[in-house]
Amino acid sequence: MIEFKDVEMQYPNGFKGLKNINVQIAQGEYVAVIGLSGAGKSTFIRCINRMHDITKGELIVNQTNVHQLRGKEIRQLRRNIGMIFQSFNLVTRSTALKNVLVSFVPEMPLWRKLLGIFTQEEKRKALTALDQVGILDKAFVRVDQLSGGQQQRVALARTLAQTPGIILADEPVASLDPMTAKQVMGDFARINKEMNMTVIMNIHHVDLALAYATRVIGIRAGEIVYDGQASDVTEAVLSQIYNGQQPVEEV
The predicted structure's pLDDT at residue 71:
86
Q: Is 150 exposed, middle or buried (0-12, 13-18, 19+ CB in 10 A)?
A: buried
Whether 1-80+198-251 shares its CATH topology with 81-163 is answered yes
The predicted structure's pLDDT at residue 174:
87
The predicted structure's pLDDT at residue 243:
83
The predicted structure's pLDDT at residue 114:
84
Local structure of 245: helix, strand or coil: coil
Residues in the chain: 251
Separation between Cα atoms, residue 180 and residue 182, nearest integer Å = 5
The predicted structure's pLDDT at residue 79:
86
Separation between Cα atoms, residue 160 and residue 126, nearest integer Å = 9
Domain segments of the chain: what residues?
Answer: 1-80+198-251, 81-163
Separation between Cα atoms, residue 223 and residue 11, nearest integer Å = 15
118 and 101 Cβ atoms separated by less than 8 Å: yes
The phi-psi region of residue 112 (left if phi > 0; otherwise alpha if psi is between -120 and 50; otherwise beta) is: alpha
Q: Annotate 175-200 with b (16+ C-beta within 10 A) or e (fewer).
A: ebeeebbbbbbebbbebbeeeebbbb
Print pLDDT tens along the chain (251 aa).
899 999 999 999 999 999 999 999 999 999 999 999 999 999 999 999 999 999 999 999 999 999 888 888 888 888 899 999 888 889 999 999 999 999 888 788 888 888 889 999 999 999 999 999 999 999 999 999 999 889 999 999 999 998 899 999 999 998 888 898 999 999 999 999 999 999 999 999 999 999 999 999 999 999 999 999 999 999 999 999 998 776 765 44
The predicted structure's pLDDT at residue 101:
94
Distances 6 to 15, 143, 223 between C-alpha atoms, Å: 17, 42, 11
The predicted structure's pLDDT at residue 112:
87
- End-to-end CA separation in angstroms for the chain: 32
State pTM to two decimals: 0.88
The predicted structure's pLDDT at residue 248:
62
DSSP for 42-61, please give it. Answer: HHHHHHHTTSS--SEEEEEE
The predicted structure's pLDDT at residue 251:
45
Separation between Cα atoms, residue 206 and residue 212, nearest integer Å = 10
> What dotted CATH number matches 1-80+198-251?
3.40.50.300
Separation between Cα atoms, residue 53 and residue 77, nearest integer Å = 14
| Count of CB atoms situated within 10 Å of the CB of 12 | 5
CATH topology of domain 81-163: Rossmann fold (3.40.50)
The predicted structure's pLDDT at residue 249:
54
Separation between Cα atoms, residue 113 and residue 149, nearest integer Å = 29
The predicted structure's pLDDT at residue 222:
95
- Helices (DSSP H) in 64-218: which residue ranges? 72-79, 96-101, 110-115, 120-132, 148-161, 178-195, 206-212
